Amino acid sequence: ELFLKEYEHSQSTLSNYRKEIERLLLWSLLKKAKALSDLNLSDLQSYEAFLLSPDEDWTGPRQSKFLKNNQPNLLWRPLVGPLKPQSVQLTLSIINSFFCWLTDAQYLQHNPLKLMRKRQSRQAHILPNVERYLTLTQWNAVEQILHESIKNQHNIRLKFLCYLLYYTGIRVSECIQIT
């Protein structure tokens, strides 16, 4: 919980980190019968393969983990289906961050994911380096509309927000947290 507290400022990040850590803990306990502190590189490589091809009893339609009366939902499953390679790399990145934190907090002696070679280069190969979601022509059109519509205070704020989002790459949810 202390690790997750660091992500309270962004509900989507917090939710994703919690989901991935819970999923790893479930897999570690139920599939490997190991505590988190006992996982090694080989285990994490098995987990990576598992995410790409999970057992059928670990997959099912998206549902809430708990029923309205706070009882466990017995139909809930940790996965909807196999993860795409990009999602697996994101999952490993989250787990790596978690293990780094646990190492810094002296809960773990070492981070087994540090031993996974070329993880970064595989991720760079899988995930394209997207600099902007708008083409230069599209952004120029947006700029022209913003320039033409600066007539009141609201439009100045709109222009500022558009520039902030475009040039920083900040998420809308992160921008809302700032204001």
Place of tokens 């390679």: 85
Contact 100, 110 (CB under 8 A): no
pLDDT string in tens for the chain (179-residue length): 778 877 777 788 888 888 999 999 999 999 999 999 999 999 999 999 999 999 999 999 999 888 999 899 899 999 999 999 989 999 998 999 889 889 888 888 889 888 776 544 444 444 455 555 677 788 778 888 777 776 666 677 778 888 788 777 777 777 777 75
Q: What is the pTM of this model?
A: 0.64
SS3 readout for 56-100: HHHECCCCCCECCCCCECCCCCCECCCCCHHHHHHHHHHHHHHHH
CA atoms within 13 A on the CB side of 162: 18
Cα gap 179→101, rounded to integer Å:
29
